[in-house]
Structure 1
Amino acid sequence: MKNIFFVLLISTVQPVLAQTKLEKAITSLENNYDQEKVYVLTDKSQYAAGDKIWFKSFVFDGYNRSALSTTLFVELYNADKKLIDWKTILLTNGEGSGDFQLKENLPEQVYFVRAYTPYMTNFNEDFQMVKTIPVYNPDSPESLVIAKSSEWSAKAFPEGGTFINGIPSKFAVRLSSTTSLPENWTGKVIDTQNPNVAITTFKSFDKNVASFKITPTSGKKYQVIIQDNAGKTKTIDLPAVAESGLSLEVYSSKEGVKYTLKGVNLKQQLQNYKIVGTINNHLAYKANINNLTNEATSLIPTKISNGANCILQLAIFDEQDNLVAKRLCFVKPGQLKIEKPEIVAQSIKQTQRSFNSIDLSPESYFKNYTVLVSEDNGTQTPEEENLLSGLWLTGDFTTRIDSPAQYFSKNANTEALDALLISENWQRFDWNSVLTGSVPAIKTKSPQYLSYKIKPIKNGAMLINSNVSLMLKLENHEAALNQFQTDQNGYAYLNNLNYDEPLNVSLFVNSQDNKESNTENLFVNIEPLVTPTSFKGSFPGTKYTLVKAGERKTVSATISRAINTQKNSKKTANADVQIEEVKLVGKKTDPKEDLDKQLSTGMFNSMNSTIFDFVNEDQHIAGSNNVLDWLQGRAAGLTFQRNNSGVNVPYIRGQQAKLYLDEILSDPSMIATLPVNNIAMVKIIKGAGLVGDAVAIYTMRGNMKSKSNEKEAPKNNSAVIKGYDKPSEFPIEMLDNDDPSKKIENDTRETLYWNPNLFDSDYVPPRIKFFNNDSAKQYKVLIISFDEDDNLLYDQQIFK
């Protein structure tokens, strides 16, 4: 929905021609209220400690993928708001992907994924995306369980916000809870003067809402009595009945949005009242009532949104531009404008570890897909949330909605969605505030990619208004020398950097040939212009609670399978490591072995080790911030997780490894400060010998000189800055039964295929390919895509 079609109604309702306070407010909305929202898709709804969370982020500006931001911060917190991990994600056309590796010793509890762009920090923190992630651990002393009962509250909302004598009024009743809502509930409306007689009764549409109609009489007081399925009751008061005012009645259908205004005891009836319709923060419809009348009806056509689905906010203003009524409604409920993928071929099997494929049409307008394939166990468990609910509902509202995906499912109840919107307010902006001329303060702009502030220092003084040279080098790329001039504050700027490798920045001053002498007494300090912000609010309540675990802790089948999958992955990875180590053992003694003998004592000798020699081999470490960063991805079975200080902590086969510096037990923070040009050898020891899983780092001795230092040694004039976090590659498993070292007894993977960027190229059909586990008989396949005009393709179906 790139462009909103603007409609002026003509008949009893005539176009507004004069410039008014309201017109100025509408202009302000168009110019000052761009706002983003985020949806994060994860490969599973629950995890075991030690799992990897794969995620795909979608950032929208209204109902289109956002072009405002190119950077997204995604953070993982525990229930105590302690930051566990974070990622800086590159956004391309509003989309980006990444992953979190969970530690095996992570306590069982609810965790939270927070996602936001730098631009979103200008607005209410409640609009940032926070996703609930339950994580289970059989070894944890506590267990997550779903709360059996919860306290809830209720409110009644009149349609349009008014309740007027003699005018039939529709009410929405909305239940709220910090944890969980009752499965179903009923209610009745009474006159407090005659409480034993129900004026009308109603049943809940779902856990969230119900609705009823009533024609009030002046002077009477009305109440609603609600009872849930457990017998709990609540009594709430309806608003006082007004003697005069305006009522707004709205009905949304496939033809458009029909509204009816009725005035009661108004001085000039409805003359000069204005009707304004906005979609997001943009004007979509505007009209003025010129005639003396107490009733006006009109149909707003669906072309106001180019036929796309969206939430329309109708606001009614009197002749003085005062807001008198407002109402949210969904355009084209029950007729979702969603494309389906065209499948041109498929090969689906049920046999264990079989190869499966699904080919999509290469001639589609959709060229880039997000695909998730999971085992489907045949149980019909409805989704609690999905991309549709994030795009059309929860991304724009801060109140908790139970299972929002239900409102966009195949058998969705359009009455329930309408009642839900009666109970909601559009909080992206407040009309009364906008009418006064108030605009949001934009303190953080939306930069293109990553930008940094460089502070050069020479002989202890900042270089103000000076020419400096910065040599920039990415690993495995040629260095480039660039000229900069510092500003009056002594800063130079690196703007719009898009990379996912460490970038080495070296400072030179008045240098033509970059000789060693030109770097003496030079220092460089680098600061990012935009950084993550601390989370100030509270995490949403969940349906889960923690209880003390018994002696024999019960573990669900899903979590047991996840833990078994982790064991299988370790076995496969360990087999690969052993094969490589057998190859090493068969070699003749070489300088690396001699260096190992020179530096290592018997306690650190092991056949099951990987050695990196910095004395005899150029390891290209000069561009790395520290040796822990350099080690990432260089040894099978060795992974890293960042701690709260941003330092990489090594893990071997999912367990935190010990760190030794010259065979003395050390910690990651100390290792991170070790100059990389002072390293002689690094040894990765995997579960063998006397030290167990360990990373041992050895420094230079005597006349040793690093091979890497013969080319370049980092000095004070250099610094390394981190780019975007590069997503891991999802393993497409093919388990080889003919290789005894890799053979596993039971393949229990739940996620069989994850690809956040499946491309269509050169008319070759995009192919979804995956291997079955040992139990799947059918597969749940989710496919998401957007074309160049941001039309949505969304399909989730079962393949057998």
Structure 2
Amino acid sequence: MQSKNYLFLIIFLAFLKIGFAQDERVLSKAAYAEKIYLQFDRENYAAGSTIWFKALVINAVDHKPSKRSGVLHVDLIGPEKQIINQKLVKIVDGSGHNHFEIPKKMPAGLYKIRAYTRWNRNFDDDFIFSKYFRIFPNLPKEENVIQNINIVDREGKFFLEAFFYPKELDSLQKRKILVGLDFNAAKQDSIEIKENDGKYKLSYKLEDKPDFVGIRMLTENGFTSGKTISLDESKIDLQILPESGILLSGSTNFLGIKALDFKGEGIYTEGVILNEKEDTVTRFKTNKLGMGVAVLNPKSSEKYIAKITNIDGNTSVYQLPEVSKKGSIISARRTGDRISLIASTTQNVDSLIIRASFRGVQLFDIVGPVKDGKFYTALPSKGFPNGIVCFTLIDKDEQPVAERLYYNDLGKEPLSIEVTTNKDEYTSREKTMLNIQVRDSTGKPVDAELSILALAQDPLGSNQKKRNSILPFFYLSSELRGKIENPGLYFNRDDNYRLRDLDALLLTQGWRNYKYDTTRIHFNYPEEPVLAIDGKVNSTIFNKPKENVELSFMALGDEPVVQTFQTDSLGRFIFNIDFLEEETREIVIQSKKGGNKRNFDIQIRDPLKLPVVFEKRLTIEKPDSVYTEIVNYEQRQQQKQFSYELAEGVTQLDEVVLEAYKMTEERQKTADLAGKPDVVIDGKKIQEKEKDWSFGLYSVLMFNFPDDIRIQRDIQEPGGDLQAKVLGGGGTTILMMDGKVVNNLNYPLIPNIPPSEVKSVEIIRFAKHFNRLYQQAYPFVSPMEIPPTGDVISIYTHGKKGIFGAQKPKGILRTTIKGYSPEKEFYQPNYANKERLESEEPDLRSVVFWEPQVKLENGETSQISFYNPDNVEVVLVVVEVITPNGKIGYHEISYPVKQRNVDAAN
């Protein structure tokens, strides 16, 4: 085992050096990146539901499954930038899948999921996958706490005004509230407001008029409410973007036009471009996504403006960039089956070079003569790959001076996906059978991996053509920075204007937003082909690395795993834990030298924390009509389910009923402060689970109760203390002991409390008054930095003395480590059973079927079957495909479903 781990260390250290034999054709560091794609079962979720996702990790340059990464890190992030849950997904042949459970108590609002590999941290945020989505209550809920938000002009000075009704949330509210303000996500402030004549009114003087403001209210008893609103819904942000970054006099210039509304989403507009004499020199209008193209022949002596009429009838004026007398530009146009390129320059040269590249790799250079400052050429489009091609104009010093992105569409998909059903029409609870085969462009069956998703067409399918599915993601979104609105529309071959709109998109996104820009090729993060832990051993006195220290590693459990290792000259070690197919595992690492136990400092290297970014503008209220339709639909279905359960005598409880729960004085204090517990772990059970190797309370809890509590090191500080986190809760955990909140400075004393001192450990998810509790645990925190929701671990001890009895072991590290997150099977009812078929319990699935990983091999046809629910009229089936050689495909079909005649069936 030792030699095996030593070889593993050699490979790992080689990765740390990241020595690549760089191909001279590679122009961009990003050519070595991985693209990460998560396919979700829907766009938005009800509290209490499950987020299902499939993950693909492929090479950026050729779309083949990546061999660099076998571990995918996936985070669920709340609106206050708190990480609520984390998953480690095992990636095999570039593919994996998992899920997030959304607790019923999860507050409604905007959330984010991000996914990354350790290797992709070499490329900043460019190749970190992220998706925003909304969580809505599973049953309708009215909340009208913040009202009448306005900008008021008082003699030329602007004030933000709003009224607050905190008693809607907190019936015990008495005197004052705290209000936090976030302007344009750039400036923050807080203000205390006292009640006046029964009202809480905000009147805040503004230095300037912001586009939007986030308002968050905090009551005296810790209740919170917030919203983000636009302060000028009629305002249009018009961006005018020259094709090559400059307006060049004496040449025909194409301008990308981009119009955005108050939420940063595209909006139709039309306008004119005027010269200094206010003569109209050209007109423009955008498509429904706010993008268009204008043509201008500017003069160097002129200045130009664009003028549009806003939706409120007022006109707005925007300055165009200054006209340059000197420079170079390049233009690309589709001409039949050819790509026409026009380069213009003011340089005194007799030839120009146009370099064609694809995903950061050089294809070829075109050298051509210059006549009257211009170089024309046309190339067959079939000579280029399908996707975004970059044309770069190179000057005589081999420096790029202008660039143009062009989408090369070859006119057909690389894969043909055939999906057939065994019937044209089905009834509810009847089995649907699908046959699926994938062929290449020549009609030959190919090996592939599929995901199959079946949805209720109404309403979940209405967004399907717009969403960022596998084709638009890998060919478009993954290669451009910035938001692309409704990316699926560009791949709808039924739209006659999609190529025109694609060209407008690339003009407005601009080559400055291309992810394959020229960057120095250097890597700071190693690959992660398998799950491993690594660290170093230091002497305790001089803190120097210790060479040739013998380490024994034991992963505890029903089937313990033992490994040994000897540190290298820098005191480093590594252990392969790719076998860890569970959320957490207790481990012990012990040091020896010369056969004797030694008091060395053993440290596990913690990964650097990835900063959390949350786009506040996206939280602006006014979700679209489709979102509202989905929410209403899901809530109606939940109400039907609730009505059925009520009629059948099924009782739904917000809290777990705890039998034989003795309400002591300390427990009553905790209940008053935080609420009643959801889980109670009796101290006797904790003592029964204690082993010889146990080192304290945390070791017993995490090894035996992994569904409720996770133990992890403080990721903000390498070598930090062990921390406890409640699973399935609000995202942030604080500790209480014997009815009192524990100050965070005393948290390091808790892990080693002897289990014999513990009466019980109790878990309170989504604790009430959490703001107030958090302030007691972290007394120096800013009130506006307090997480809106959180959980409590409450510990009760014999004699209230356990917190001070901890002893840190020497020469041994006992902790828990995170393994792969367990997968969960999608629930699928089976109506082959007659009793189940005739059951009156409603089947109200809107996600009808989900199978994320189906393998097609040796030209086989895949056969998939599932039962239809009661509540749909049309089922939409979505199939996404990737092949081992990097071909990507998408296909959808739909079929009608009639409601089953129950009387006839009986």
TM bin (shorter chain): 0.7 to 0.9
2:870 is paired with a residue of what secondary structure?
coil
Report the equivalent of 1:154. 238
Do 1:181 and 1:207's aligned partners in 2 also have CA atoms closer than 8 Å? Answer: yes
Map 1:686-697; keep pairs closer than 5 Å. Answer: none
Q: Does 1:499 align with 2:497?
A: no
Q: CA deviation at 1:34?
A: 2.5
Q: Does 1:184 align with 2:268?
A: yes
Report the equivalent of 1:234. 316
Q: CA deviation at 1:649?
A: 2.6
Q: Which moved more, 1:78-87 or 1:157-166?
A: 157-166
Equivalent AA in structure 2 for residue 360 of structure 1: I
Report the equivalent of 1:780. 876
Instruction: Pick the aligned partner of 1:273 from 352, 355, 360.
Output: 352
Equivalent AA in structure 1 for residue 604 of structure 2: E
Do 1:734 and 1:771's aligned partners in 2 also have CA atoms closer than 8 Å? Answer: yes
Describe the shift of the 1:766–1:646 C-alpha distance in structure 2 as closer, same or farther (beyond 3 A): farther
Q: In the aligned structure 2, how far is the partner of 1:685 from the partner of 1:127?
A: 37
Report the equivalent of 1:121. 121
Q: CA deviation at 1:749?
A: 1.7
2:505 is paired with a residue of what secondary structure?
helix
Equivalent AA in structure 1 for residue 40 of structure 2: T
Report the equivalent of 1:365. 446
Q: CA deviation at 1:163?
A: 3.5
Deviations 1:336-361 (A, max 9, x none): 53424233653576433333231323
Report the equivalent of 1:45. 43
Q: CA deviation at 1:235?
A: 2.2
Do 2:36 and 2:56's aligned partners in 1 also have CA atoms closer than 8 Å? Answer: yes
Q: In the aligned structure 1, how far is the partner of 2:821 from the partner of 2:245?
A: 47
Q: CA deviation at 1:639?
A: 9.9
Q: Which moved more, 1:724-733 or 1:289-298?
A: 289-298
Report the equivalent of 1:407. 490
Report the equivalent of 2:254. 170
1:542 is paired with a residue of what secondary structure?
helix
CA RMSD of aligned residues (A): 5.3
Deviations 1:211-251 (A, max 9, x none): 12233345333322223555353322334444555443312
Deviations 1:485-528 (A, max 9, x none): 1234434222573532345544455699x9xxx77x76884524
Deviations 1:720-772 (A, max 9, x none): 32212223222223479977999664322211222221234688743333222
Q: In the aligned structure 2, how far is the partner of 1:427 from the partner of 1:408?
A: 23
Deviations 1:52-105 (A, max 9, x none): 211223334245144433332222222221222222222333333222222222
Q: CA deviation at 1:610?
A: 11
Do 1:163 and 1:241's aligned partners in 2 also have CA atoms closer than 8 Å? Answer: yes
Describe the shift of the 1:528–1:723 C-alpha distance in structure 2 as closer, same or farther (beyond 3 A): farther
Describe the shift of the 1:460–1:734 C-alpha distance in structure 2 as closer, same or farther (beyond 3 A): farther
Do 1:33 and 1:440's aligned partners in 2 also have CA atoms closer than 8 Å? Answer: no
Instruction: Pick the aligned partner of 2:566 from 454, 460, 485.
Output: 485
Report the equivalent of 1:104. 104
Do 2:30 and 2:515's aligned partners in 1 also have CA atoms closer than 8 Å? Answer: no
Q: In the aligned structure 2, how far is the partner of 1:526 from the partner of 1:353?
A: 56
Deviations 1:254-290 (A, max 9, x none): 7342212345x6433xx23211122121101212235
Q: CA deviation at 1:454?
A: 4.4
Equivalent AA in structure 2 for residue 558 of structure 1: Y
Equivalent AA in structure 2 for residue 90 of structure 1: K
Do 1:342 and 1:361's aligned partners in 2 also have CA atoms closer than 8 Å? Answer: yes
Report the equivalent of 1:259. 341
Report the equivalent of 1:316. 393
Instruction: Pick the aligned partner of 2:520 from 415, 439, 461.
Output: 439
Do 1:154 and 1:234's aligned partners in 2 also have CA atoms closer than 8 Å? Answer: no
Describe the shift of the 1:575–1:367 C-alpha distance in structure 2 as closer, same or farther (beyond 3 A): farther
Do 1:650 and 1:657's aligned partners in 2 also have CA atoms closer than 8 Å? Answer: no
Instruction: Pick the aligned partner of 2:851 from 755, 761, 765.
Output: 755
1:273 is paired with a residue of what secondary structure?
strand
Report the equivalent of 2:211. none
Q: CA deviation at 1:685?
A: 12
Deviations 1:572-597 (A, max 9, x none): xx9999xxxxxxxxxxxxxxxxxx99
Report the equivalent of 2:151. none
Instruction: Pick the aligned partner of 2:478 from 395, 400, 404.
Output: 395
Q: In the aligned structure 2, how far is the partner of 1:567 from the partner of 1:643?
A: 41
Describe the shift of the 1:762–1:720 C-alpha distance in structure 2 as closer, same or farther (beyond 3 A): farther
Equivalent AA in structure 1 for residue 634 of structure 2: I
Q: In the aligned structure 2, how far is the partner of 1:310 from the partner of 1:90?
A: 29
TM-score normalised by the chain length of structure 1: 0.73
Deviations 1:592-614 (A, max 9, x none): xxxx99x997999xxx9999978
1:207 is paired with a residue of what secondary structure?
coil
Q: CA deviation at 1:467?
A: 4.2
Map 1:402-551; keep pairs closer than 5 Å. Answer: 402-410=485-493, 411=495, 413-427=498-512, 434=518, 439=520, 441-455=522-536, 464-473=546-555, 475-477=557-559, 479-482=561-564, 484-495=565-576, 497=578, 499-501=580-582, 502-507=584-589, 525=602, 527-528=604-605, 530-535=607-612, 537-539=613-615, 541-542=617-618, 544-545=620-621
Do 1:171 and 1:211's aligned partners in 2 also have CA atoms closer than 8 Å? Answer: yes
Equivalent AA in structure 2 for residue 314 of structure 1: F
Describe the shift of the 1:672–1:202 C-alpha distance in structure 2 as closer, same or farther (beyond 3 A): same
Do 1:621 and 1:627's aligned partners in 2 also have CA atoms closer than 8 Å? Answer: no
Map 1:529-678; keep pairs closer than 5 Å. Answer: 530-535=607-612, 537-539=613-615, 541-542=617-618, 544-545=620-621, 556-561=631-636, 563=638, 626-630=699-703, 647-649=724-726, 673=751
Q: CA deviation at 1:113?
A: 1.5
Q: In the aligned structure 2, how far is the partner of 1:100 from the partner of 1:135?
A: 13
Do 1:150 and 1:181's aligned partners in 2 also have CA atoms closer than 8 Å? Answer: no
Do 1:457 and 1:522's aligned partners in 2 also have CA atoms closer than 8 Å? Answer: no
Q: In the aligned structure 2, how far is the partner of 1:557 from the partner of 1:353?
A: 24
1:96 is paired with a residue of what secondary structure?
strand
Q: In the aligned structure 2, how far is the partner of 1:341 from the partner of 1:280?
A: 26
Q: In the aligned structure 2, how far is the partner of 1:527 from the partner of 1:178?
A: 47
Q: Does 1:337 align with 2:413?
A: yes
Report the equivalent of 2:429. 353
Deviations 1:629-685 (A, max 9, x none): 445688xxx899999986353669x99999999x99999989993789869999999
Equivalent AA in structure 2 for residue 286 of structure 1: D
Do 1:76 and 1:84's aligned partners in 2 also have CA atoms closer than 8 Å? Answer: yes
Report the equivalent of 1:298. 377
1:341 is paired with a residue of what secondary structure?
strand
Q: CA deviation at 1:792?
A: 0.6
Q: In the aligned structure 1, how far is the partner of 2:705 from the partner of 2:39?
A: 26
Structure 1: 5+ residue stretches without partners: 1-23, 548-552, 578-595, 687-693, 701-713
Equivalent AA in structure 2 for residue 393 of structure 1: L
Q: In the aligned structure 2, how far is the partner of 1:746 from the partner of 1:210?
A: 49
Q: In the aligned structure 2, how far is the partner of 1:499 from the partner of 1:563?
A: 37
Structure 2: 5+ residue stretches without partners: 1-21, 145-225, 440-444, 653-657, 668-678, 715-721, 765-791, 799-809, 897-906
Map 1:62-77; keep pairs closer than 5 Å. Answer: 62=61, 64=63, 65-77=65-77
Q: In the aligned structure 2, how far is the partner of 1:639 from the partner of 1:469?
A: 28
Equivalent AA in structure 2 for residue 446 of structure 1: E
Q: CA deviation at 1:799?
A: 2.7
Describe the shift of the 1:194–1:226 C-alpha distance in structure 2 as closer, same or farther (beyond 3 A): closer
Q: Which moved more, 1:643-652 or 1:244-253?
A: 643-652
Q: In the aligned structure 1, how far is the partner of 2:865 from the partner of 2:355?
A: 50
Q: Identity percentage over the alignment?
A: 18
Equivalent AA in structure 2 for residue 276 of structure 1: R
Describe the shift of the 1:429–1:664 C-alpha distance in structure 2 as closer, same or farther (beyond 3 A): closer
Q: CA deviation at 1:299?
A: 2.9
Report the equivalent of 1:689. none
Do 1:350 and 1:776's aligned partners in 2 also have CA atoms closer than 8 Å? Answer: no
1:121 is paired with a residue of what secondary structure?
helix
Q: In the aligned structure 1, how far is the partner of 2:530 from the partner of 2:43?
A: 31
Q: In the aligned structure 2, how far is the partner of 1:795 from the partner of 1:285?
A: 34
Q: CA deviation at 1:789?
A: 0.5
Q: Which moved more, 1:638-647 or 1:231-240?
A: 638-647
